[in-house]
Amino acid sequence: MAQLIGNISEFDYKTQEWQIFYKKLENFLKLNKVLAEDWCSVLIAHLSDDSYRLVRNLVHPKEVETIQWTELVRVLNGHFQPKRSTFADRAKFYGAIRMDGEKVEDWAARLRGLAVHCNFGTELDTLLRDRFILGLKVGPERDRLFEQDSNSLTLSRAIEIAQETACARAARADVDGGEQLIKQEMVYRVSERRARGASAQAESSWASAAAARCAVCGLKGHSVEKCRFKDYKCMICGKKGHLKKVCSVKKVGKLSLNNMDDNESDGHECKKCDLYNLRISK
């Protein structure tokens, strides 16, 4: 037996589509020049257990092995292809929209698949073009296609325009993304410098505060707000908010006493001068 070209997987009606399997099998049989009288045997040999049971039930009371190819295909087509509603298929077609992330060419292919059972006839290309454009979401692709002349625009040209616009938008997004990263880096660096400057200024302010003496207690290393003596009363002036060691009244008092001492000393010196002058006169 000559080596076969290609291969056919086992058909399981629960997970596979009959029409796809049938077309692949038909091409496999023709490509390998299998005799027509053996086609049924090849089909049966490629059925899963559940699929074989289904075929057996469909052809009962006949035996599966006695059925001719045309009859077997007719039975299976009738089972897997129930009568369709053209309006239901058209409703799916007219309501289709391009999904997020779906490529332009994939959207066009999916739309063709939805039109298979719509029986559009000679209007197929026009309706495919219209649905292809109207099914696009608001964006550059749709805007560009809306500018075209409907009398001359074909489906293939509409797909090309949408692809070109999508590619241009993707390229522009890459460029804008790179520029945005550069801007973000520059903003980050400026913010970092400002943060360092603010930190240095805060440290300088803290150092200045630490070097200054507290107006409440006269000690260093803390501010007036954080001084534990800020609610104490002064023993000199009786006012709340400082200790006697920093009381301004005390300083004034000292200054007055010093002035009095100076005046007294000046008086004594004047008296001595008078006595000295009297002695000389005598």
Confidence band, pLDDT 50/70/90 cuts, at residue 267: very low
**Could you state, in order of their start, the residue ranges of all structural domains in the chain?**
18-80, 86-169, 254-281
- In SS3 terms, 209-274 reads as HHHCECCCCCCECCCCCCCCCCCCECCCCCCECCCHHHCHHHHHHHHHHHHHHHHHHHHHHHHHHH
176-216 pLDDT tens trace: 665 565 566 565 566 667 767 666 666 565 455 556 788 87
Long-range contacts, stretch 182-186, CB < 8 angstroms, 24+ apart: none
Confidence band, pLDDT 50/70/90 cuts, at residue 281: very low
pLDDT value, residue 277? 42
Mean pLDDT taken over the chain: 81
pLDDT value, residue 191? 65
Q: Is the domain covering 86-169 a CATH 1.10.3470 domain?
A: no
Give the percent of the chain with pLDDT over 70: 76
Confidence band, pLDDT 50/70/90 cuts, at residue 273: very low
Q: Which of 84-93, 210-219, 245-254, 273-282 has the lowest mean pLDDT?
A: 273-282
224-259 pLDDT tens trace: 788 888 888 888 888 888 888 878 776 554 444 444
